[in-house]
Homo-oligomer: A and B are copies of this chain.
Amino acid sequence: MADGDDDVPLILTWDDANSGLVVEEEENGVGNYDIVNNVIIPTSGTADPRPQNSLRQSWEMNYQEAAIYLQEGENNDKFFTHPRSANALSAYLFAHNHLFYMMELLTAVLLMLLSLAEAPAVPFLRLDVYVHATLELLALAMVAFELCMKLRWLGFHTFIRHKRTMVKTSVLFLQFVEAIVVLVRQTSHLRVTRALRPIFLVDCRYCGAVRRNLRQIFQSLPPFMDILLLLLFFMVIFAILGFCLFSSNPADPYFNTLENSIVSLFVLLTTANFPDVMMPAYSKNRWSCIFFIVYLSIELYFIMNLLLAVVFDTFNGVEKMKFKSLLLHKRSAIEHAFQLLVSRQRPDGVSLKQFDGLMRFYRPRMAARDRFLTFKALNQSGATMLSLSDFYKFYEVIGLKWKARRSGEYWFDDLPRTAFLIFKGINLLVKSKAFQYAMYLVVAINGIWILVETNMLNDGVSWTRVVPWSYIVFLTIYGIEVLLKLTGLGPMTYFSLGWNLFDFSVTVFAFLGLIALAFDMEPFYFVVVLRPLQLLRLFKIKQRYRNVLDTMFELFPRMASLGLTLIIFYYSFAIVGMEFFAGVVYPNCCNTSTVADAYRQINVTVGNRTVLEEGYYYLNNFNNILSSFVTLFELTVVNNWYITMEGITSQTSHGSRLYFMTFYIVTMVVMTIIVAFILDAFVFRMNYSRKNREPLGDPEEEKGIVFETEVSQTEALQTMDLYRHTLRITNLSSLQSMYAALERCGQPSLVFLGRRSRTKSDLSMKMYEEEIQEWYEEFSRTNLQPDETFQQSLNSPEVSTTDSIN
């Protein structure tokens, strides 16, 4: 009766229906632990009085709760949001599936997209007031519904004590009222609060990365602010000094009042008005350049870099603490789950039966074979049960993709002899150095060709309908290469390498371009000019480039989330900008400002032709959300941003400058964080590769994490038996096919390989190896009283609760 149904769980969970032990939870209690402490557990070995059926139900409940714990560990949800009753559980399950997440995301995106259609709208997307206000009300109702589900799951007490949710609720209320007002008045009023809409997006489950970024930004803020104050302080000192020195010069408009002096030096901090700001003073007295050189040296070259250093330093620490807290949170989740999976009879091990039960909740779509193999991978000691220390590896093995080890090396091993020899030849060819370098040569010639060809077109491209022959020749070569590699290596091996994927997609794009050229599809011409991307392959030759480009690809997901964070800031600023500055600049406006030239649009007669002389800056406006985004990007790049600022200031009021200066400082924070992030990631990679003496980006290394596990025929039979009879699972096709494979190969056992790609967490694990042991020891010391640890982890600053609920 090793895994029989009469095992009794050590800990009973929500099945209050059976035990009748409903305990009113304390406010901060951790749910089931409280229940456990109040249960008088019968000593081990005593027959359980409850009927089999309720026992199975109670196991099912335990599996589910353990799965939820593990889920919470994976998502870094704090345990104080753990559902504590059957009601809460159903709400929890409702609110934790991809359908719900998707709905959440779509609602938030819809709300944000509304600003495309609200006045001032993008011309071709304009909607009537009642249409977009109704849409908005609908979306807000959806959000309200989601919040209700959350309230049900969390309970009122936890709900009102969770800051982010409360902010969301109040913003929701405000938006509701405003949307109704808009609908009633049939016209939009000054709705600056629309700038708060990104809160709904940030709160989405899928935007966890954005939330993490935002938290990192906020954590870096205090030291940043300190240095910023120092920066502004020097600015004011120099502004006073500059005002005293240069205000006597009537030709100098930059320092004629103290306000202008401060604004000039603020803009000078961004270098946008240099050297113009210096010129009037410099033309009067050559030594005045010293003032500007000293100012720039202190502010731009010293304090601004200090700012980066401080943020980098904070960032570094925050990254490590975050990793630590995540690691310990996962460990604690595993411990909770383990407690729920052991039976009263054998309290120090989890059997396959219990593990399988857990996995059916944790990964409902996982095949029985993979569940079994995962259990085997965890079970390194070879015992029938998983000990806690085995179970600690849970998160490492859970993402593995299992495959039987192939007896042969090549995909064409099973083909007939002739075919085998042909493919073997191709395989040797594409793997040879000569082939590789020949391809590099072709790419290099292609590069030079494109350059020469483009240079000969110097009088403008005329989009010739005739396809150039060089294009066809090179494309044929690339096509043949792709085909050879595909057949020689097999599609699986070929596509497993990022570089091949890149080659393939560039070649396919080039073919599409050719088709576009041949069939005269004008809008797709741009595909043709992507040809030079092939040249990027040349960078594979050198190790350092492989490192850099690999790091680049690794950074992309994180960069994308940072970009999204930036877009959220853009959105808020764009809304505010549109509310205040929509339509204020137009051609030939701003004649009273110093930047009138940039807005001028006049017809000038040159010889006998009339030419339109354009200042173009009227295009940098806030007339709709798309224009606003472009304008804000220009402000981010900083160069000449003061022209936009001065133009709008001259049409509105001096207070507008505050908007632009605030925006500059906000983007400076985000940009500094981006720089710090790239620095950190790159230096981390470099240190890692130095520490482990592994060449990064080596093809051997890209295989990621591999686990091996051996399955014998008898074991397979036993497992099938267990699944069929004891667990009564009917869908055993995966196990049957495994057994068939075992029989087919003719050997007594078969090795299965579990693979997954290496994550940042794996690298960190290796980097901090020694420290991790210390953390664990410290953790288990403080972990004697589980309840206390939770309280600590809630109160400790590292594990901030802002990111807790979903």
Contact = CB atoms under 8 A, between A and B. Distances in A.
A460 interface: yes
Nearest to A301: B674
A596 interface: no
B544 A237 contact: no
A226 B308 contact: no
Interface in A265-287: 271-276, 279-280, 282-283, 286
A236 B545 CA distance: 18
Contact of A271 (B276, B300, B552, B638): B638
Nearest to A234: B536
B461 A274 contact: no
Given A233-B535, A460-B248, A634-B274, A548 B306 contact: yes
A794 to B, nearest CB: 25
Interface in A285-315: 286, 289, 293, 296-297, 300-302, 305-306, 308-310, 312-313
A240 interface: yes
Interface in A516-538: 526, 528-530, 532-533, 535-536
B244 A461 contact: yes
Given A258-B454, A258-B455, A559-B302, A679 B275 contact: no
Contacts of A316: 683
A241 interface: yes
Interface string A241-273: 101110110010000111000000000000111
A230 interface: yes
A670 to B, nearest CB: 11
Contacts of A638: 271
Nearest to A456: B258
A141 B154 CA distance: 88
A637 B226 CA distance: 25
User: Which one of A458, A542, A626 has the greatest number of beta carbons of chain B within 10 Å?
Assistant: A458
A532 B237 contact: yes
A542 B301 CA distance: 23
A323 interface: no
A640 interface: yes
A451 interface: yes
A616 B251 CA distance: 12
A535 B237 contact: yes
A745 to B, nearest CB: 48
Contacts of A552: 302, 306
B283 A241 contact: no
Contacts of A279: 614, 616-617, 619
Given A245-B529, A460-B247, A461-B247, A309 B237 contact: no
Interface in A555-610: 559, 563
A300 to B, nearest CB: 8
B678 A532 contact: no
A88 interface: no
A454 B240 contact: yes
A236 B451 contact: yes
B675 A305 contact: yes
Contacts of A430: none
Given A532-B237, A619-B283, A679-B308, A274 B639 contact: yes
A682 B283 contact: no
A619 B460 CA distance: 36
Contacts of A451: 236, 240
A637 B682 contact: no
A454 B256 CA distance: 12
A245 B454 CA distance: 12
B454 A539 contact: no
A351 interface: no
A301 B458 CA distance: 30
A227 B312 contact: no
A633 interface: yes
A247 to B, nearest CB: 5
A142 interface: no
Nearest to A597: B597
A50 to B, nearest CB: 56
A508 interface: no
Report the copy number of this chain in the oligomer.
Answer: 2
A389 B162 CA distance: 62
A309 B274 contact: no
A686 interface: yes
B619 A256 contact: no
A223 interface: yes
A544 B224 CA distance: 11
Contacts of A639: 271-275, 639
A147 interface: no
A143 interface: no
A542 B226 contact: yes
A630 interface: yes
B227 A548 contact: yes
A257 B456 CA distance: 10
A83 to B, nearest CB: 40
A674 B305 contact: yes
A630 B455 CA distance: 36
User: Which one of A282, A300, A308, A529 has the greatest number of beta carbons of chain B within 10 Å?
Assistant: A529
Contacts of A528: 244
A620 B302 CA distance: 25
Given A256-B460, A454-B258, A683 B313 contact: yes
A318 interface: no
A450 interface: yes
Given A282-B619, A619-B283, A630-B289, A526 B274 contact: no
Interface string A24-57: 0000000000000000000000000000000000
Contacts of A460: 247-248, 256
Given A227-B548, A620-B275, A306 B683 contact: no
User: Which one of A256, A280, A316, A548 has the greatest number of beta carbons of chain B within 10 Å?
Assistant: A548
Interface string A626-655: 100010011001111000000000000000
Given A308-B675, A533-B237, A679-B312, A230 B539 contact: yes
Given A529-B240, A639-B274, A639-B275, A305 B619 contact: no
A686 B223 CA distance: 13
A640 B233 contact: no
Interface string A484-503: 00000000000000000000
Contact of A545 (B226, B245, B301, B678): B226
Given A241-B530, A275-B637, 19 more contacts: A233-B535, A236-B532, A240-B451, A243-B461, A244-B461, A251-B614, A256-B460, A258-B455, A258-B457, A274-B640, A279-B617, A305-B675, A305-B678, A305-B679, A306-B682, A309-B679, A309-B683, A312-B679, A316-B683
Counting from the closest, the 10 A-B pairs by CB-CB distance are A279-B616, A309-B682, A271-B639, A237-B532, A305-B678, A247-B460, A275-B634, A244-B529, A274-B639, A241-B529
29 contacts: A226-B542, A230-B539, A230-B545, A236-B451, A240-B529, A241-B532, A244-B528, A248-B463, A258-B458, A271-B637, A274-B639, A275-B634, A275-B639, A276-B616, A282-B630, A283-B614, A283-B616, A283-B619, A286-B626, A293-B633, A296-B637, A300-B637, A301-B671, A306-B678, A306-B682, A308-B679, A309-B682, A313-B683, A639-B639
